[in-house]
Amino acid sequence: MINLKNYRITVTGGSGFLGSYVIEKLKQRGCNDLFVPSSSNYNLTTENGIHKLLNDARPEIIIHLAAKVGGISANSEHPGDFFYSNLIMGVQLMEQARLFGVTKFVALGTICAYPKFTNSPFKEEDLWNGYPEETNAPYGLAKKMMLVQSQAYRSQYGFNSIFLLPVNLYGPRDNFNPKSSHVIPALIKKCFDALKNGSNEIEVWGTGEATREFLYAEDCAEAIILATEKYDSSEPVNIGSGMEISIKNLVHIISRLSGFKGHIIWDKTKPEGQPRRCLDTSKAFKEFGFKASVPFETGLQNTIQWYKSSQYA
């Protein structure tokens, strides 16, 4: 186990949704030498932007959270952008970090890297047993290449990088923009928009039969910090809560917690993504002692309250 407060740490994406929690956790552990690059000053899809970051921050540890992300709609509309931006950012950053002499590189993958049809719960050894769900395959495969790179670099160069696979995240500070948000913030916004506009119905994509697993962002941040402190292998590790819920049940819970009592209209002509998603999280507990602690409804209540406060303050 390493004491993180003794290291210079750079967190790409540190001002984003998940990153803000990671920064808070690091500060709680006494880390003061933190660097959070802004996308306006450091374009991490270019070699020059990465060189500038490394020369300015001189990191010993990099936690790479920066990514171009979105829900099914955004993935469907911008597959090329999602593939190129995530691939080039991850590959170049890890390579330049290796050349620069970075001590440890923490790469965040995605559950979208798993094959479309994977037995539930997903085990890490299932990662290469098929092609990802089509709507988010470009994003999932781009992120998955950091796993290949991590293992290759450890084998050839002895470079210490790790690869974590977080499930769908949610929580306060999430992205509620309907053009790019994921399912939980999108549903919360739909419910409150309907209440505000006096509408008696909301529309949801798909049939509601698909299942998902969700992890509170603060829990995910804790997992990332524990892995940074304690895990030193390039074998991938799932980060999740171990729960599985259908989109239909999720909609009913969010409607109830939001106070929306109208009708749910299911648009079955729209895609609903991977049929099932649920992770086997036993490896994370075994390797670095992580287990999710925030109950799902508690997390949803916190998220809804934050949204209400931010919109109607």
Peptide bond into 121 cis (omega under 30): yes
Neighbouring residues of 266: CB distance < 8 A, sequence distance ≥ 6: 203, 204, 206, 207, 208
Euclidean distance between CA atoms 220 and 267, whole angstroms: 32
Q: Which two tokens stand for residue 117?
A: 């049809």
Please give the angle made by the CA atoms of 209, 211 and 216, to the nearest 5 degrees.
Answer: 145
306 secondary structure, DSSP code: H
Q: Which parts of 134-181 are beta strand (E)?
A: 161-166, 168-170
Kindly tell me if the per-residue pLDDT of 71 is higher than 80.
no
> pTM of the entire structure?
0.94
What's the average model confidence in pLDDT over 277-281? 94
Give residue 273's pLDDT: 81
Strand partners for 63: 11, 106
Give residue 156's pLDDT: 98
Q: Which pairs from 283-288 meet CB under 8 Å and 24+ separation?
A: 283/124, 283/237, 283/238, 284/223, 284/227, 284/237, 284/238, 284/239, 284/240, 287/227, 287/230, 287/231, 287/233, 287/237, 288/223, 288/226, 288/227, 288/229, 288/230, 288/231
The verdict on whether 139 is a catalytic residue reads yes
Strand partners for 267: 205
The domain limits of the chain are 4-170+215-240+278-292
Fold of 4-170+215-240+278-292: Rossmann fold (3.40.50)
What's the average model confidence in pLDDT over 199-210? 93
Kindly state the percentage of the chain with pLDDT values over 90.
88
What's the average model confidence in pLDDT over 296-304? 97
Query: In this predicted model, what pLDDT tens digit does every residue of 80-128 receive, in sequence order?
Result: 999 999 999 999 999 999 999 999 999 999 999 999 999 999 999 999 9
Give residue 313's pLDDT: 45
Helix/strand/coil for 105: strand
Q: What amino acid is encoded at 137 in this protein?
A: A
Taking the alpha carbons of 18, 19, 24, 27 in that order, is the dihedral positive or negative? positive
What's the average model confidence in pLDDT over 161-165? 98
> What's the whole-number average pLDDT of the chain?
94
What's the average model confidence in pLDDT over 277-297? 97
Euclidean distance between CA atoms 229 and 221, whole angstroms: 12
Tell me the pLDDT band of 70, cut-offs 50, 70 and 90.
confident
Least confidently predicted of 62-76, 97-111, 125-139, 227-241: 62-76
Give residue 254's pLDDT: 97
Kindly tell me if the per-residue pLDDT of 33 is higher than 80.
yes
Euclidean distance between CA atoms 213 and 242, whole angstroms: 7
Higher pLDDT: 190 or 78? It is 190
Kindly tell me if the per-residue pLDDT of 180 is higher than 90.
no
Nearest C-alpha neighbor of 37 from the set 60, 63, 7: 63
What's the average model confidence in pLDDT over 243-253? 96
Give residue 312's pLDDT: 57
Kindly tell me if the per-residue pLDDT of 174 is higher than 50.
yes
Neighbouring residues of 101: CB distance < 8 A, sequence distance ≥ 6: none
Give residue 275's pLDDT: 86
User: Which residue is listed with tokens 């990514």?
Assistant: 67
Tell me the pLDDT band of 295, cut-offs 50, 70 and 90.
very high
Q: What amino acid is encoded at 72 in this protein?
A: I
Residue in 21, 114, 139, 170 annotated catalytic: 139
- Radius of gyration in angstroms for the set of CA atoms belonging to the chain, rounded to a whole number: 19
